[in-house]
Amino acid sequence: MASKNVQHFNDVNFDQEVLKSDKPVLVDFTATWCGPCKALAPIVDQLADELGAEVKVGKLDIDESPVTAGKLGIRGVPTVMVFRNGERAAQHVGLTTKAKLKELIGV
């Protein structure tokens, strides 16, 4: 079951919710047809539940928000990016572990 702490980002709200956020933001770029994305989803949900007070966690479906995905050069999913102060601070492409995601966030 998806976590209530995972936000949904899109072309409309990305700038406000991610780039203008006052805390670090982990964005999981995903797609409904992507098998590894489905495997990563519970890990992202766990992180959102654990770190929700200090880090904003959300997903962006690349098929529903192609403008943002294109601007950021997303070529494969899953891609996870961490943004701090409106800048891309870290990135990982492909399925990964919760430990690696925490390392990207810096916690």
Query: Which residues are designated catalytic?
Result: 34, 37
Rounded to 5 degrees, φ, ψ at 90 are -160, 155
Helices (H), the chain: 14, 35-51, 66-71, 98-105
* C-alpha dist (Å) from residue 42 to 15, 17, 39: 25, 22, 7
What are residue 74's phi and psi, to 5 degrees? -70, 115
Max Cα–Cα distance, the chain, nearest Å: 32
